[in-house]
Amino acid sequence: MANPRIFLSPPQISEREYDLVREALDSNYVAPLGPMVDRFEAALARYTGFPHALALSSGTAALHLALRVLGVEAGDRVVVPSLTFIGSVVPVLYQGAEPIFVDSSAKDWLIDADMLDATLARLAREGRPAKAVIVVDLYGQPCDGALYAAICDRHGAALVVDAAESLGSTLRGRHAGHGAQITCLSFNGNKIITTSGGGALLSDDEALVRRARNLSQQARVPVAHYEHVEFGYNYRLSNILGAIGLAQLETIEDRVARRRALFDAYRDRLGGLPGLSFIPDIPEARCNRWLSVALFDKNVQAGPEEVRLALEAVNIEARAVWKPMHMQPLFRDAEMVGGRVAEDLFARGLCLPSGAQVDDDVLDRICAIVDRLVEAPEAVSP
Ligand SMILES: *Cc1c(COP(=O)(O)O)cnc(C)c1O
């Protein structure tokens, strides 16, 4: 009998989700508002330490609203890392703005701070300064919000942190995303917690969140008839999905602990192989290890694609590191600053299965396959 498929990062559902969804249905708040959404927002704010949270239909919607309320308009420039998921970047296009891509740093895989600083200075000199910067907490790596905020302040750009992958990560004891004007989360199906689809916007700034909330509900003016002065979006999270999110969030610390233990196990067992290393540690950070990412040296026996195919052959899902945006046909005319690091991480990285399905037995199977392919032939021959 074939082994059941092991997914990269599948959802994990308990009885608690069923109970809260039933409660939501019984309440008849089957709408994009209701007590479960309110409770989910309060729980998100409490957990992340932000005073204001707004639950939305996706992480992409959260980023779009962030740019809109920060005043990004058609023709504006927005700096984003090239090494990210497309969801970080399409909100720039939704606003008719222009993405300027910047390379990542090999030391933490986050947008290169020095390159960002120099780029913002140059864009200002050109007379078209960047309106905003989106820093992405790649694979859960929490960025130093104070560092990036100082750079952005110097050049008059707003700072958004795309924390879609870093829920549960901390830096110096604080949750990921602090220091930004707005921080965005995603609860898509493969994230560390999920509402099937969903997202949230977090901020210290009550006025920004109030405005985002209004725009997320078709920008209705609060009068008895429907009155509209400007256009908004239908971006609110459903109350039913809020119930799922509330149940999921109760387990976040266990999930972080489990993913971190799995990453440590991969690194202990495979990190000693010649030519194999892992995504770097950030000092004073607790990374949620959303995905465990291995890095293959160029001269190693088998590269990430061979390993991915060997795992796929036994029904185990692994995936390349995000393909950089400046290598995408969609962005062939966009400006790119640097690019060597992003291209290198894409060529050499592999995301290993990181969900709760990876028990000791699955871990043994995965490690045996990687070991067999990567180990030098003289070391395996008798
Ligand atoms: C998942 C993700 C998003 C988008 O979130 P959705 O909820 O899928 O819209 C944005 N940025 C990054 C880095 C992501 O991983």
For residue 381, pLDDT beyond 60: no
pLDDT in tens, 41-93: 999 999 999 999 999 999 999 999 999 999 999 999 999 999 999 999 999 99
Helix (H, G, I), strand (E, B) or coil at 114: helix
pLDDT in tens, 313-350: 999 999 999 999 999 999 999 999 999 999 999 999 99
Which atom of ligand 1 is nearest the CA belonging to 199? 7
Q: How far is CA 225 from the centre of its chain?
A: 39
User: With contact defined as beta carbons under 8 Å apart, do 374 and 273 qualify?
Assistant: yes
Q: Taking Cα atoms as reference points, which of 10, 63, 17 lies closest to residue 40? A: 17
196 C-alpha vs ligand 1 centroid, how far in Å?
13
Whose Cα sits closest to atom 5 in ligand 1?
59
For residue 1, pLDDT beyond 60: no
Which atom of ligand 1 is nearest the CA belonging to 58? 7
Percent of the chain with pLDDT over 90: 92
Which has more pLDDT, 224 or 162?
A: 162
Two structure tokens written together for 255: 């999930």
Q: How confident is the model at residue 382 (pLDDT cuts 50, 70, 90)?
A: very low
Mutate to test the pocket of ligand 1, among 64, 162, 354 (most ligand atoms within 8 A of CB): 162
164 C-alpha vs ligand 1 centroid, how far in Å?
5
> CB of 162 closer than 6 A to ligand 1?
yes
Mutate to test the pocket of ligand 1, among 9, 54, 56, 60 (most ligand atoms within 8 A of CB): 60
Domains in the chain with CATH codes: 15-249 (3.40.640.10), 252-379 (3.90.1150.10)
Q: What is the 3-state secondary structure of the chain?
A: CCCCCECCCCCCCCHHHHHHHHHHHHHCCCCCCCHHHHHHHHHHHHHHCCCEEEEECCHHHHHHHHHHHCCCCCCCEEEEECCCCHHHCHHHHHCCCEEEEECECCCCCCECHHHHHHHHHHHHHCCCCEEEEEEECHHHCCCCHHHHHHHHHHCCCEEEEECCCCCCCEECCEECCCCCCEEEEECCCCCCCCCCCCEEEEECCHHHHHHHHHHCECCEECCCCCEECCCCCECECCHHHHHHHHHHHCCHHHHHHHHHHHHHHHHHHHCCCCCEEECCCCCCEECCCCCEEEEECCCCCCCHHHHHHHHHHCCECCEECCCCHHHCHHHCCCEEECCHHHHHHHHHEEEECCCCCCCHHHHHHHHHHHHHHHCCHHHHCC
Whose Cα sits closest to atom 10 in ligand 1?
87
pLDDT in tens, 89-123: 999 999 999 999 999 999 999 999 999 999 999 99
Q: Taking Cα atoms as reference points, which of 276, 263, 286 lies closest to residue 353? A: 263
For residue 278, pLDDT beyond 90: yes
Q: How far is CA 68 from the centre of its chain?
A: 20
Mean per-residue pLDDT of the chain:
96
pTM across the whole model: 0.97
269 C-alpha vs ligand 1 centroid, how far in Å?
30
